[in-house]
Amino acid sequence: MEMNDELLIKFLLKETSEGENTIVEEWLSQSEENSAAFIAFEKIWKASKLLAVESDIDADQAWTKFKNKIDDQTSAKPIVKPLPKNYTWLKIAAVFLVAIGSWSIYNLFGPSSYTDLTSTNAVISKILPDGSELIINKNSQISYAGNFANNRKISLKKGEVFFKVAHDKSHPFVIEIANVAVEVVGTSFNIKHLKEETEIVVESGVVKVKLGKQELSLVKGERINIYPATKQLEKQKSTDVLYNYYRTQLFVANNTPLPKLISILNEAYNSDIVLNDKLSNLKIYTTLEYGNLDENLRIICDALSLKITRNEKQILLSYP
């Protein structure tokens, strides 16, 4: 599947329709090369936006030159299309880059300065140059600084990662997620960032979470959930271990609200399991293996005396 730049820019601006979102997400999931090309494109786009200035140079011509430079630097070859008038600011940014004759912006934000890690259909493990260990869940995108030993910075674009950070008091370990920053020295914790929501669960040590001018610390057994509308950081006790299913290969529910277990199953299996409204207050004790979804649904239904109704891709759980 080929991808055009106009659609990618609309996606970055969150102006795409549901159908267009599906097209981009399917393209990203097709290969690691597509994901890497998107990350490089996003970095260039952000850098260009910061440099947007007024200019009387031919913006369309400059945009074409700018796109040629991108194509020379990435393995993917998107179709070059003129941008509509409402994207003129991006053309102007391209004008600026062409006018100064510099590709340093790409070199600053591109693969030579940051290393991209992308997982698609499998969980992957990675040991960073400082000795820190990562376990990266499926469909996740992160990048880390090239000079990581002295600049322990990571950007989490999307997905979920478990961090076991090597102790280095003189070089704090910083993770940037949208408008949230997480800073640690030596500790272990899990971060999930999906659909503009961020969840942080601490297993050991101390984690500092920053949102704007706010800052709070989390310790072992504490968690925080940050949503787009969050105005005040509030930590909670971590009452379950469902978040670590991709590391343990188990879904452990211990008096867990059924909606929470179902939400994790939908995430893990990319499924569409829906609960009848009457089941929203149910809780469940069970341990499920990260194996066959149908078998896990059978175990849940047997435990709670529920029935399964299928409607195309949707799975409805309800009372008989």
Positions of CATH 3.55.50.30 in the chain:
242-318
pLDDT for 142 equals 95
pLDDT for 221 equals 95
pLDDT for 96 equals 45
pLDDT for 79 equals 44
pLDDT for 5 equals 67
pLDDT for 103 equals 38
| Separation between Cα atoms, residue 37 and residue 2, nearest integer Å | 12
First to last CA, the chain: 44
> If you search the block for the tokens 């899990």, which residue do you land on?
190
pLDDT for 229 equals 87
In eight-state DSSP terms, residue 4 is B
pLDDT for 45 equals 62
Q: Residue 131 carries which side chain, given as an amino acid letter?
A: G
Positions of CATH 2.60.120.1440 in the chain:
114-237
| Separation between Cα atoms, residue 73 and residue 254, nearest integer Å | 50
| Separation between Cα atoms, residue 96 and residue 53, nearest integer Å | 7
CA angle 139, 144, 149 (to 5 degrees): 145
- In CATH, 114-237 is 3.40.605.10: no
pLDDT for 68 equals 60
pLDDT for 312 equals 86
Rounded (10°) CA dihedral 161, 162, 165, 171: 30
List average pLDDT for each run of 10 residues in the chain, which is 320 residues long: 71 82 81 71 61 49 56 46 50 46 42 78 93 96 87 93 94 91 94 94 96 93 93 92 96 96 96 94 96 96 95 93
pLDDT for 209 equals 96
pLDDT for 61 equals 58
pLDDT for 234 equals 94
pLDDT for 52 equals 46
What is the CATH architecture of 242-318? 3-Layer(bab) Sandwich (3.55)
Q: Which helix (H) or strand (E) holds 135?
A: strand 133-136
pLDDT for 294 equals 96
